[in-house]
Structure 1
């Protein structure tokens, strides 16, 4: 007697639908967990149930060949979804185009076969595909070592293998004994295949439910282990307490290290019992805020350690429920040392700010763009600018062109030093700075580069001080040391230094140079006749007249008394004689007035020029002095150079 295959299909369909509903309820219940591939598995079981439903409906719809087509497609797709879900669940699936290629080949080949009325070939291909997907699922189950115990792995893998072998035989039988040619045997084999699918799908359903529960338990254990590890290894103090009475239920090792209280010390006690709050009012404030908002972020609270010492903590808390009882999960970070450092830093900042703001020197900082981003109030006292008028301006606006060039050279020099590893170079120089009233003052600057903790250049900082008075004093001392007070001409020492420089240059480039020794005629008679004031007047007038005649490169110096030396670069002896002739002509036509009286000045001169490139300044001076004496011996008002006279 044959079993009614249609009725059996309906029973299998209803049972499979119930299995799908059970799986969906399980999935919904475990919604918080991650079950990759679960929906694929459910879809596969559902398609197997749909296959049973199609088989049952053939009694009423009489779909003929079309029913066989749909039945094969649905069953193959269901087994594909099932195996794909297994691969995803065990994290063995790798994205590729193989599945799409296989699906394309399967659909095209079976459709062509059906089109030509061949039922055996599509049936064989479908059975072979189901066998292949079952084998893939079996291999995935066998390779899994994390979730399955030995018995469940054997049962699950065994059903997939048996299913694969059965449908492999089924595929061979489709090719050997076509379904249309043997009406008896395929019907019995078909019934057995449906029964096998039903039994296997039921086993797979309950196996998957077991896997889900097992995975949830495993994830719960892992989560608890992670929580315990985090709870115990966090360096901050973590404590859990009941909200209503503050009873401490759990503390970590960080709490013990921070407060000195061990887990046994706080057992059955509240934070008030162990006198943890330095001020109990803070506990009340903590309770009000946490109850109203449900959380607290970074609240500074003072606590008392077990040894009685003060502890400043940064407290964060969350309101949580444990078995329906409100608790507080609190994390406290020790910031005692940080607060002490902040206080020390604040004291130092106040001290340094006082020194900076009240210093007589200008303290400044400029950024990498050479814009001023800080300057002390002393700048207003020195240059007249208010701080807000200076902040943000570039430094070039306060210097003269030559000052700008000097600063650029200093910066470039610093960069060169930086390239060879010298980052601590301090520069000291003097420069003129512009004042608000348009005047200029000399300042002394001490500057150094400013780097951050990573060695990157931030800018430059330094000190400026007004050195105008010192500069004027030095200029005055220099002038006194180098300039004759009466005539304002270089004195003997300064003239000789200038002459040595010009002589070296002339000898280096083989250029002519002449030295003229000049002496007043009858200066003693002028002093005796008109007084010493007249003699001084004669010396000053002579210096002014000569300086108006000679070039900028020429130098007139007073050697002593009424003796002068005139240095003429790029000039030979005849050229020097022409200069002296012009001087004598102007002196002759320029009387010196003393009251209502006047007199004329006359001088004698001796000229010496470079004759040999080994000549020294002393050689030139001796020859010029000899030539001068020759002019004096001739009665004065003469110009003599070497052995020639005029």
Structure 2
């Protein structure tokens, strides 16, 4: 009867949709149950008897061993999120081409008995890749302007916070160039908001084309944009603006919006090491922008460079 119960228990365990690994302190795969959901898992029974270090590259194997040791020492269940790709698998880490990254949630519990004369854990792995990708997509949507597909103000705040920290730590030079479209309201009033949207997208695309890959272009809202230019001083930023302004004058003609006074006015400032918050540099750039407007528009002014 007990033997029959053991057979039934094994069958029940093997029917689990997620794989459950019995792993010893030294990293031996002692047993594997479940993993029946073939949409997400391959048959892992060939791992039984192998060590984690035989399967995974050293950095990833050591991470697993540390997690196992931590659970065995605390004797409490631990939930951890981790990623795996072919770069983590011995023999596949040097394979050329994109590596698909899979995300897992691991629920790790210490067993009350030894396995092969070693303390051991039960590691239940749940594939969370689809959920992780959805979260990433939602996060990206929350930080992306839907019209221009540029980063929005929320992402600007995050980027500026990082750049401010780098400026304080390493003295990195970062120029903030804030610009908007002169007489943009006239475009909407004359041709309608659909044309206005076309102009916004065209201006943003043109600006992006003239920036480097290391630069960022962010839409603040309306017709206001910010270019973040790391490793760039005021002189280089001014040269960029002059090129951009010249190209905008050609773009105005191709968009058939001549005669409205459409142009580009900008203000620049540098991030300072003594800036207390990101709002300090944004305020300086905004003040420079309005100074340029007061001087007649379609030009650049600087503040704090």
TM-score by length of 2: 0.76
Residues 623 and 389 of structure 1, relative CA distance in 2, 3 Å threshold: same
Residues 444 and 537 of structure 1, relative CA distance in 2, 3 Å threshold: farther
Residues 377 and 561 of structure 1, relative CA distance in 2, 3 Å threshold: same
Distance in 2 of aligned mates of 1:450 and 1:508:
46
Aligned-partner SS, 1:382:
coil
Cα-to-partner distance string for 1:390-435 (whole Å, 9 max, x where unaligned): 6567768988x8xx745532423554786xx43546241132457x
Residue 94 of structure 2 corresponds to none
Residue 93 of structure 2 corresponds to none
What is the RMSD of the two structures over their aligned residues, measured on CA atoms? 3.8
Query: What is the deviation of 1:593?
Result: 5.9
Aligned-partner SS, 1:378:
coil
Residue 364 of structure 1 corresponds to 21
The 5 Å alignment of 1:213-612 reads: 343-344=1-2, 346-347=4-5, 349-350=6-7, 352-366=9-23, 368-371=26-29, 373-383=31-41, 385-386=42-43, 405-406=59-60, 408-412=62-66, 414-415=68-69, 421-422=73-74, 424=76, 426-432=78-84, 441-448=102-109, 452-453=113-114, 457=118, 459-590=120-251, 602-610=263-271
Residues 454 and 365 of structure 1, relative CA distance in 2, 3 Å threshold: closer
Residues 558 and 345 of structure 1, relative CA distance in 2, 3 Å threshold: farther
Distance in 1 of aligned mates of 2:281 and 2:135:
33
Cα-to-partner distance string for 1:449-492 (whole Å, 9 max, x where unaligned): 55744995355431122323322321122122222111222221
Check the 8 A contact 1:414/1:425 in 2, yes or no. Answer: no
Check the 8 A contact 2:18/2:35 in 1, yes or no. Answer: no
Distance in 2 of aligned mates of 1:454 and 1:386:
22
Matched, 1:634 2:295: yes
Residues 405 and 557 of structure 1, relative CA distance in 2, 3 Å threshold: farther
Distance in 1 of aligned mates of 2:20 and 2:155:
39
Cα-to-partner distance string for 1:199-241 (whole Å, 9 max, x where unaligned): xxxxxxxxxxxxxxxxxxxxxxxxxxxxxxxxxxxxxxxxxxx
Query: What is the deviation of 1:619?
Result: 2.3
Check the 8 A contact 1:512/1:609 in 2, yes or no. Answer: yes
Aligned-partner SS, 2:150:
coil
Distance in 1 of aligned mates of 2:68 and 2:45:
29
Query: What is the deviation of 1:607?
Result: 0.8
Distance in 1 of aligned mates of 2:253 and 2:166:
38
Q: How many residues in Structure 1 have an aligned counterpart in Structure 2? A: 290
In structure 2, the gaps of 5 or more residues are: 87-98
Residues 634 and 428 of structure 1, relative CA distance in 2, 3 Å threshold: same
Distance in 2 of aligned mates of 1:468 and 1:370:
26
The 5 Å alignment of 1:51-130 reads: none
Query: What is the deviation of 1:610?
Result: 4.1
* Greater fraction helix: 1
Aligned-partner SS, 2:246:
helix
Deviates further, 533-542 or 560-569: 533-542
Query: What is the deviation of 1:355?
Result: 3.6
Check the 8 A contact 2:164/2:273 in 1, yes or no. Answer: no
Deviates further, 444-453 or 477-486: 444-453
Residues 552 and 392 of structure 1, relative CA distance in 2, 3 Å threshold: farther
Which structure has the larger Rg? Answer: 1
Distance in 1 of aligned mates of 2:199 and 2:37:
49
Query: What is the deviation of 1:558?
Result: 1.4
Distance in 2 of aligned mates of 1:387 and 1:415:
23
TM-score by length of 1: 0.39
Distance in 2 of aligned mates of 1:396 and 1:454:
18
Distance in 1 of aligned mates of 2:301 and 2:131:
46
Residue 286 of structure 2 corresponds to 625
Distance in 2 of aligned mates of 1:395 and 1:576:
52
Residue 41 of structure 1 corresponds to none
Residue 92 of structure 2 corresponds to none
Aligned-partner SS, 2:82:
strand
